[in-house]
Amino acid sequence: MKVLVINCGSSSLKYQLIDSRSEEVLAAGLCERIGIDGRMTHTPSSGNTVVKNDPLPDHGAAIQAVLSALTDKAHGVISSLGEIGAVGHRLVHGGEKFAASVIINDEVIAEVEACNDLAPLHNPANLIGVRACRQIMPDVPMVGVFDTAFHQTMPPKAYLYGIPHQYYQEHKVRRYGFHGTSHNYVAKRVHHLAELDPDNSRVIVCHLGNGASVTAVKNGKSVDTSMGLTPLEGLIMGTRSGDLDPGVIEYIAKKEHLTLEEVLKVLNKESGVLGLSGVSSDFRDLTEAMEQGNEQAAVAVEAFCYRVAKHIGAYTAALNGVDAIVFTAGIGENAAHIRSMICDYLGFLGITIDEEKNAVRGKEAEISTPDSKVSVFVIPTNEELAIARETAALLGE
Cα 338 to Cα 330: distance, rounded to the nearest angstrom = 11
Give the residue with the Cβ less far from ligand ADP, 147 or 323.
147
Query: Active-site residue 344, yes or no?
Result: no
What is the number of the residue whose Cβ is closest to ligand ADP?
330
Sign (positive/negative) of CA torsion 86, 92, 96, 100?
A: positive
Residues that bind ligand ADP (CB under 6 A): 209-211, 238, 281-284, 329-331, 334-335
Are the beta carbons of 28 and 75 closer than 8 angstroms?
A: no
Are the beta carbons of 313 and 329 closer than 8 angstroms?
A: no
- Smallest distance, Å, CB 332 to ligand ADP? 8
Are the beta carbons of 323 and 203 closer than 8 angstroms?
A: yes
Using DSSP, state whether 299 is helix, strand or coil: helix
Local structure of residue 118 (DSSP, 8 states):
G
In angstroms, what CA-CA distances link 303 with 287, 341, 373? 14, 11, 26
Give the residue with the Cβ less far from ligand ADP, 201 or 277.
277
Give the residue with the Cβ less far from ligand ADP, 151 or 240.
240
- Smallest distance, Å, CB 114 to ligand ADP? 26
- Smallest distance, Å, CB 182 to ligand ADP? 9
Give the residue with the Cβ less far from ligand ADP, 128 or 338.
338
- Smallest distance, Å, CB 374 to ligand ADP? 24
Are the beta carbons of 3 and 17 closer than 8 angstroms?
A: yes
- Kind of pairing, strands 142-146 and 84-91? parallel
Using DSSP, state whether 223 is helix, strand or coil: strand
Cα 282 to Cα 279: distance, rounded to the nearest angstrom = 9
Give the residue with the Cβ less far from ligand ADP, 132 or 274.
274
- Containing 288, the helix (H) or strand (E) segment is helix 283-291
Give the residue with the Cβ less far from ligand ADP, 94 or 211.
211
Residue in 19, 147, 199, 323 annotated catalytic:
147
- Smallest distance, Å, CB 317 to ligand ADP? 27
Give the residue with the Cβ less far from ligand ADP, 108 or 300.
300
Q: Own/partner pairs for 345-353, CB < 8 Å, 24+ apart?
A: 345/305, 345/306, 345/309, 345/312, 345/313, 346/309, 346/312, 346/313, 346/374, 349/316, 349/322, 349/373, 349/374, 350/374, 351/325, 351/376
Cα 274 to Cα 269: distance, rounded to the nearest angstrom = 9
- Smallest distance, Å, CB 329 to ligand ADP? 4
- Smallest distance, Å, CB 211 to ligand ADP? 4
- Residues annotated catalytic, as ranges: 147
